[in-house]
Amino acid sequence: MGLLDIEKEASGSSAVHRLDGRVKVISFVLIVLSAVIVGRSGEWAFVHRIKGLAFLEIYLLAILFLARVDKFLFLKRVALILPFGGAIAFLKPFVEEGSPIYTFPLGITATYEGLLEGALLSSIMIVSTSSVVLLSSTTTVPKLVDSLRRLGMPKELALLFGMTLRYLFLYFETFQRITEAQKTRCFNIRNRRVKLGFILEQIGYTITMLFIMSYRQGLSIHQSMASRGYNPDSSLVSAKSKITFLDAPFLALTILVVGSVLLL
């Protein structure tokens, strides 16, 4: 999966893609916040919290089908992100105090309360990750950065965020060129006949080369911006957009779904 595939997916023409970026940012942030509130609130029973998180995920899947996003690409991106926090959810049954349900060798005990906490944490991660992936799958990088700026993000932070996302594609392409050049010289990182020390040395060279190229590219970009009159007090100009008749119902529906989950 390449970064260009993600940006191509975000440039679709469905009704969800045409929504105002501010509306989508607010909507998906509300879903993430509600998922955290529902999952971590001890006032509700476990079954009710799981039902609330499942309802939020069903709503996100409905938006996914409406947006006509590639389902395989969506699932692949979610699956790539989940392991970063899935380890914490996996360890919950073994570190949470409560009623023991099984004792493994070396005295490692899994508890019932820890198992429930792990299931809740996994559900929160699935809903939150689906929201972020769906937002990036239906909103291009310039539109996303512009929406965040218009919602009040400081201009310095918006500039750094926008440039990071924009030139991430360039650095990814540079990394691909480096790895392809290594392959043309018969270097394969998975070749077991090559000594591990040599492989680690080549990986170190690759990381160093990418860092140097990124540093030079950063200097070149800053000089280009300065030659065009940029300074820390410069204002970023963007095209103005208004909330249309499609945006308000979507935001209202999201608020209704979130409110229903929190109240019912």
Q: What percent of the chain has pLDDT over 70?
A: 94
Listing DSSP states for 54-106 in one string gives: HHHHHHHHHHHHHHT--HHHHHHHHHHHHHHHHHHHHHHHHHS-S-EEEE-GG
pLDDT at 240: 66
Angle at 58 between CA 56 and CA 64, to 5 degrees: 110
Please give the residue that has the higher pLDDT: either 126 or 160. Answer: 126
pLDDT at 55: 93
Q: Show me where the domains of the chain are located.
A: 3-139+243-263, 154-227
pLDDT at 254: 92
Please give the residue that has the higher pLDDT: either 187 or 261. Answer: 261
pLDDT > 80? residue 8: no
Q: Which helix (H) or strand (E) holds 111?
A: strand 109-111
**Count of alpha carbons within 13 Å of 147, Cβ hemisphere only?**
20
pLDDT > 90? residue 29: yes
pLDDT at 54: 92
pLDDT > 90? residue 61: yes
Confidence of residue 3 (pLDDT cuts 50, 70, 90): low
pLDDT at 239: 62
For the record, the structure tokens of 224 come out as 């280009």
Per-residue model confidence as pLDDT tens digits over 74-91: 888 888 888 777 777 777
Per-residue model confidence as pLDDT tens digits over 126-157: 999 999 999 988 988 888 888 888 888 887 78
* Burial degree of 132 (CB within 10 A; 0-12, 13-18, 19+): middle
Mean pLDDT of the chain: 82
pLDDT > 90? residue 186: no
